[in-house]
Amino acid sequence: MVVRVDKIMSELGFGSRSEIKKYAKAGKIRINDKVIKKADEKIDSERDKLYFEGRQVVVEEFETYVLYKPAGYVCATKDNVHKTVMELIDSDRKNIVPVGRLDLDTEGLLILTNDGALNHRLVSPASHVDKIYYAKFDGTLADDAIECTAKGLDIGEGEVSKPAKLEILSSDEVKLTIHEGKYHQVKRMIKALGGEVTYLKRIAFGGLNLDDLNLKKGESRKITEEEVEKLV
């Protein structure tokens, strides 16, 4: 990856591009053995080493994380009211975003990345990436709930869910597999079937299962290359 010094350093949280420019003029930035004076110089991350005030800066093109999201956190980079999922990952990158969203009260597997192509593949309904949810609910589902879900449900506001897979686990528990991410989709689908969700948890995303990730609630880590392959 060849990238401008000011771009990568601002993404890594060293400051704004104008601040990086000042650091360069002050002689605080070095590429290999050369002190640079212009922040728009480029670095090859596979061949060059970047230093700031004598300490090496680790340059990675993409960072992707798996997180066991707890309830009470919003899937946003900033929020004036609630805590955000960004507080639960160990990264200074400023361009990492959640892939899709889980509601404030929803738990489970969340992916965060700055890889735009990966993000698009994971959220696009055309990619048919499975998202599996476990839900508890009040009420009684329609007798033909499985068949109706497989055909697509009218979930209100002029929207119809794409065909999905419903598994009834008990009188108040289901597992639902969908390939899209409309606003409050799972809750709206269960409601269309006669129930009211009381607890919701995403247990799988693509080929990744939350139980296999060895994460406690609120924990995150960088994803492995093998796990990325399972995702898509």
List residues with catalytic annotation.
103
| Together in a domain, 48 and 74 | no
| Together in a domain, 68 and 182 | no
| Together in a domain, 107 and 148 | no
Q: Is 1's pLDDT higher than 80?
A: no
134 three-class SS: strand
Q: Which structural domain range is residue 168 located in?
A: 131-205
| Together in a domain, 220 and 201 | no
Q: What is the CATH number of the domain that holds 159?
A: 3.30.70.1560
The whole-number pLDDT of residue 8 equals 87
Which tokens go with 181? Answer: 């991410």
Which tokens go with 44? Answer: 């090859």
Q: Domain tally for the chain? A: 3
The letter for the amino acid at 178 is: I
| Together in a domain, 146 and 196 | yes
| Together in a domain, 114 and 218 | yes
User: Based on the number of CB atoms within 10 Å of its own CB, is 54 exposed (0-12), middle (13-18) or buried (19 or more)?
Assistant: exposed
Mean pLDDT across the chain, nearest whole number? 94
| Together in a domain, 47 and 9 | yes
Q: What is the CATH number of the domain that holds 108?
A: 3.30.70.580
| Together in a domain, 120 and 137 | no
| Together in a domain, 214 and 118 | yes
What angle (nearest 5°) sits at the alpha carbon of residue 42, between those of residues 36 and 45? 110
Asked if 165 and 204 touch (Cβ cutoff 8 Å), the reply is: no
Beta bridge mates, 51: 30, 56
What percentage of the chain carries pLDDT values higher than 90? 82
- Which tens digits make up the pLDDT trace of 97-125? 999 999 999 999 999 999 999 999 999 88
What angle (nearest 5°) sits at the alpha carbon of residue 167, between those of residues 165 and 170? 160
Residues 6 or more apart in contact with residue 116 via CB below 8 angstroms: none
Band the pLDDT of 202: cuts 50, 70, 90.
Answer: very high
| Together in a domain, 70 and 10 | no
Q: Are strands 107-113 and 195-205 parallel, antiparallel or unpaired?
A: parallel
Instruction: Give the number of other Cβ atoms within 10 Å of residue 176's Cβ.
Output: 21
Backbone angles phi, psi at 3, to 5 degrees: -145, 155
| Together in a domain, 113 and 218 | yes
| Together in a domain, 214 and 121 | yes
Q: Is 197's pLDDT higher than 90?
A: yes
Q: What 8-state DSSP symbol labels residue 127?
A: G
Determine if residue 32 is left, alpha or beta; phi over 0 gives left, psi from -120 to 50 gives alpha, anything else beta: left
- Which tens digits make up the pLDDT trace of 43-64? 987 789 999 999 998 877 789 9
Task: State mean pLDDT over 227-231.
Answer: 90
What angle (nearest 5°) sits at the alpha carbon of residue 112, between those of residues 106 and 115? 150
Determine if residue 183 is left, alpha or beta; phi over 0 gives left, psi from -120 to 50 gives alpha, anything else beta: beta
